[in-house]
Amino acid sequence: MLDLDGHVLRTFLAILENSSVTIAADKLDVTQSAVSHTLARLRKILKDPLFVRSGHSLMPTETALALRDPVRKALDIINGLTDQRPFDPKEEAMKFVVAANDMQRDLVFPDLTKDAWNEGIDIEFEFLPSGQPTVGLMRDAHCHLALTPLPPDGADIFQKPLFSGKMMCFYDGDVREAPKSWKEYCEADHLTVRFVGGGTSLRVLPEVEESQISRPKISVPNFNAIPPFKKPRQRVGHLLVLLVEHPSKLLQVR
């Protein structure tokens, strides 16, 4: 126990957050050998490898993942011994890296940033396209947050629902009628969003295989590109009703 100090714990978190001894050394402004030595020391103290190599990255063991929150709390307590200043968002310059597709980004953040700035909060956001986010994307891009209906499966990724809504069929009422059944919807002329890295927005339909629905005639890279393609033909698509501007033209099909 007495061999554990703030320096050792901070080094552990740097490796955990960056999956790399080299990057952790750069973040801590120390040599790579110093980080490697500290990691070897910590492995001996805890009697666990803590990290195993996977390609060019280090993957945490179950022990390392279980230690993440206790180590953070311990460092907070150590910091509190010398720094009793309470957190005040108006006194902090904050920056967050957010992975989100255009739909989630435009739904949440314009009002959030406007309200923050109006209250005198200095906050900065950097947005990255999330596609279907992976654990690797969040770690490699150092994302603080990913907004997605398809969260990555990672033991160290904390997930929390922000909002929910019904899945709805949408169409242009000037060129077609609503599908009258699930079968008619599946056989309709579809358009969809194809994410970076593969997969389409059809994946968000609950308990539905993409193979059940006819191959989309149009695939666009983001949701904002959908409206111009509805007019020329009798295409249909799907979105959360919460995210569509004119819900009066929607029809629930399931």
- The pLDDT score that the predictor gives to residue 85 is 64
Report, as an integer, the average pLDDT of 104-110. 86
Q: What domains, with CATH codes, occur in the chain?
A: 6-82 (1.10.10.10), 89-147 (3.40.190.10), 167-251 (3.40.190)
How far apart CA 200 and CA 238 sit, in angstroms, is: 12
- The pLDDT score that the predictor gives to residue 29 is 84
Cβ contact 105:127 at 8 Å: yes
**Contacts (Cβ under 8 Å, ≥6 apart) of 84:** none
Coil/strand/helix, residue 107:
helix
Cβ contact 95:143 at 8 Å: no
How far apart CA 105 and CA 128 sit, in angstroms, is: 10
Report, as an integer, the average pLDDT of 137-157. 74
Question: Both ends of the chain: CA-CA distance in Å?
Answer: 58
- The pLDDT score that the predictor gives to residue 243 is 43
Q: Exposed, middle or buried by CB within 10 Å (0-12, 13-18, 19+), for 42?
A: buried
CA contacts within 13 A on the Cβ side of 114: 6
- The pLDDT score that the predictor gives to residue 115 is 92
- The pLDDT score that the predictor gives to residue 246 is 34
How far apart CA 57 and CA 21 sit, in angstroms, is: 9
Where is pLDDT greater, at 98 or 189? 98
How far apart CA 218 and CA 225 sit, in angstroms, is: 11
Q: What is the pLDDT of residues 118-130, one digit of tens each?
A: 998 988 999 988 8
- The pLDDT score that the predictor gives to residue 164 is 72
- Kindly state the percentage of the chain with pLDDT values over 70: 76
How far apart CA 97 and CA 171 sit, in angstroms, is: 34
User: Above 60 in pLDDT, residue 244?
Assistant: no
User: Above 60 in pLDDT, residue 220?
Assistant: yes
Q: What is the pLDDT of residues 26-63, one digit of tens each?
A: 888 888 888 898 899 899 888 999 999 888 889 999 99
Coil/strand/helix, residue 218:
strand
Q: How confident is the model at residue 235 (pLDDT cuts 50, 70, 90)?
A: low
- The pLDDT score that the predictor gives to residue 84 is 63
What is the average pLDDT value for the chain, to the nearest integer?
77
Can you name the residues that pair with 123 across neighbouring β-strands?
Answer: 94
